[in-house]
Amino acid sequence: MKKIAITQARGRLEKVQAALAALTQARTFADADSAWSDFLLASSGVYSKLEQGAKGAGKSEAWFGRKKYERKHDPLLRYIHHARNADEHGIEPVTAHHTGSFAAAGNGAYRLDGSGGPDHVDLKITHLGGEPPRIEITRPSVKLVLVRDARYGDTFEPPAAHLGNALEDQSPLAVAKLALSYLECLLAEGSELVE
């Protein structure tokens, strides 16, 4: 493994970390989409730098071949790889936006009063008698969607597992955290192969 490749892959990993931080702090759909796109691109860059650094070194080439095989067969790693391809080479969205909701239900009597503007709503619930209302609030969220790699016509569902473990959370943030952890280990392994 060439040392310069590790240095450059580390730079890409820093971009992955920055994109994850931006995704964590995103307050709008546009911010979340931008951070996710940056995350996908930087993640791909880690692989690209390590692949170039492994060329010409038998032990490193064999190691990278195993990692490439793992990416091809692990649902989370495969999804990120193809979501990046779809985002970079296609025009279909790689996320979906859910605006959230508010619901009140029950057998009692209550009144809802609301006021506000386009970016917020103030609600007041007045219990008028009987069973108190049940309140359900669903926050706005960004979801991963089926991605289509237009170059080959393949489609890939959001990942349901990673390294043999089922995913409880398939949000972009949860997937990005798992991918970052994997990429950190990948870089550490690659660093051990420096000649």
3 state SS for the chain: CCHHHHHHHHHHHHHHHHHHHHHHHCCCHHHHHHHHHHHHHHHHHHHHHHHHHHCCCHHHHHHHHHHHHHHHHCHHHHHHHHHHHHHHHCCCCCEEEECCEEEEECCCEEEEEEEEECCEEEEEEEEEECCCCEEEEECCEEEECCEEECCCCEEECCCCEECCEECCCCCHHHHHHHHHHHHHHHHHHHHCCCC
Pairing of strands 120-129, 161-162: unpaired
- Domain residue ranges of the chain, discontinuous segments joined by +: 3-97+141-191, 101-138
pLDDT of residue 148: 92
- Confidence band (pLDDT; 50, 70, 90) for 195? confident
CA distance 48 to 63: 14
Q: Among candidates 128, 131, 122, which has minimal Cα distance to 110? A: 128
Query: Distance between CA atoms of 95 and 136, rounded to whole angstroms?
Result: 24
Task: Please tell me the predicted confidence (pLDDT) of residue 117.
Answer: 59
CB 21 within 8 A of CB 162: no
**Per-residue confidence band for 191, with pLDDT thresholds at 50, 70 and 90:** very high
Is residue 119 scored above 70 in pLDDT? Answer: no
More confident residue, 28 or 14: 14
Most distant CA atoms of the chain, gap in Å? 78
- Closest CA relative to residue 38, chosen from 90, 78, 94: 94
pTM here is 0.84
Between CA 82 and CA 73 the distance in angstroms is: 12
